[in-house]
Amino acid sequence: MFCKNCGKEIEDNSKFCRYCGADVTFGGDDASAQEEKSKEEIKPEEPVKEAEPETPKEPAAAVEPPKEPAAAVEPPKEPAAAVESPKEPAQAPEAPTDPPPPGAGQPPNGGYYRPPVRQKKSNKKLIIIIVAVVVALLLAAVAFLLIKVFDVFGGSDEGMNMGNFYNGNGIIMNGDNLYYANYYDGEISRTDTEFSNETTVEDNLNFPYQLQMNGDDLYFTAEDTSEENFNRNLYMVNTKTGDKKTLIKNVQNYFIEGESIYYMNDENDDMINDVFSANLDGLSSNRLIQGVNNLLGMHEGYLYYSTYDEIEMEYTLCRMEMAEKEKEEILTCEGLQGILGISGSELYYAREEGDEDPKYLIFTKYDMESGGSKVITDDKAIKGYGFTSTFTGEKIYYLTIDEYKYNENSQIFDYSNSIYSMDISTGEPTLVENGLDSWRTLYELGGKVAWCSYDYGEDMVQYMDYGWLQ
């Protein structure tokens, strides 16, 4: 048979033409229709036409929506411009702009630069300031306690007491302990504030006194019996270990301030005293003042001392500013005995008056700023050989001799004493104790007043006693 489509001879009973592939099972119009349909289905080149540019145009149109997000990238251009905005906040002191971090300007994942987020300020500086203030307050409290405990003048909150120093510092307070010198027994003892539980710290001494503490080290003077003129030497003994050192020879008066010892001696044995400074081991001595009559004390960076004019028979009270070593004269008077104490710019001192013994003591207030002077005691109210007093900042405690007892040779062999307190604001004296048959030296210690008495026992043996004023 022949293919009705291509006319080629094909095998009988064939369903499709092996040459053109036409369906030869139908005849007439159906075959033609089938033939047309087969031609449309068989066209191999038409599927290629679907890849023409027109076909991808529709998908390309579908790609256009991402162009909108691409356009949406433009808003970040404002933050990108905000990279320059740190300059504007720089003009506002209240909101300084941090510099951009490394790599700023390179778009991060969002496709644009995000300005750096200002970090919350650290509290480290504030914490450091608070800690510093707390430490400063603690140090101030410790310094206050040290002044109360170790103050060699026995000072108070309101003034500096120099009476203890003038009286020889026979008793000093260190914490809960009292140290006192038994002048006649040649011992230095430690006790509690009730004068009980006594312990000997140092013995076999010759007339010890002028006690001062610095930490665990106890300083004192005693006579050196190996010297012909029995000069007083300055010693130091550690109250913990018992180690003892001889620091400075021929010391008449001394006191400790900070890391230095200030002392007076006659270095050249020419009857002229000089003032020196040395370290706490008595080394590195340095002469500060020449021609001194007495070393009186130190207060608020000033060294107080006196000189004496033998021609005019007058004393001059002076002071030296320690930092600059500048000296100045404060006042001149006759019969200067010593400084009672200092409160602010007011200096209280004692001087003798009278032509016959016993002389009278006059207490005077002197303003170091204005130069004004005022006597705060009644004329001839206080009498005695020298004087013993102490200063609490508000009151002056002093001893006066009420009655002398004479022997058959008209020599004084005993006396009766009284102790008074005087309010420095009014000058009014108040009797504290009277009828005392022994001489008592007074010391202000921690706001209270202690006394040390010198008397004779059996067989005229001298002894010392201690206690508190009631």
> Three-state SS across 54-78?
HHHHHHHHHHCCCHHHHHHCCCCHH
Q: Read off the pTM.
A: 0.63
- Range of 4's domain? 1-54
451 part of a folded domain:
no
21 part of a folded domain:
yes
377 part of a folded domain:
yes
Q: How far is CA 262 from CA 79, 96, 115, 284, in A?
A: 74, 57, 68, 12
75 part of a folded domain:
no
Residue 244 near residue 237 (C-beta atoms within 8 A): yes
Whether the predicted pLDDT of 384 surpasses 80: no
What's the pLDDT tens digit per position in 173-199? 888 899 998 888 889 999 998 888 889
Most confident by average pLDDT, 193-202, 226-235, 457-466: 193-202
Whether the predicted pLDDT of 93 surpasses 50: no
Structure tokens at 344: 């602010």
β-strand partners of 273:
292
77 part of a folded domain:
no
Q: How many domains does the chain have?
A: 2
Identify the CA nearest to 272 among candidates 252, 287, 292. Answer: 292
369 part of a folded domain:
yes
Predicted pLDDT at 188: 92
Structure tokens at 397: 């405690």
Number of residues in the chain: 470
Type of residue found at 287: R
356 part of a folded domain:
yes
Whether the predicted pLDDT of 359 surpasses 80: no
267 part of a folded domain:
no
Banded pLDDT at 81 (limits 50, 70, 90): very low
- 199-203, 302-306, 460-464: least confident range: 460-464
- 34-38, 129-133, 172-176, 386-390: least confident range: 34-38
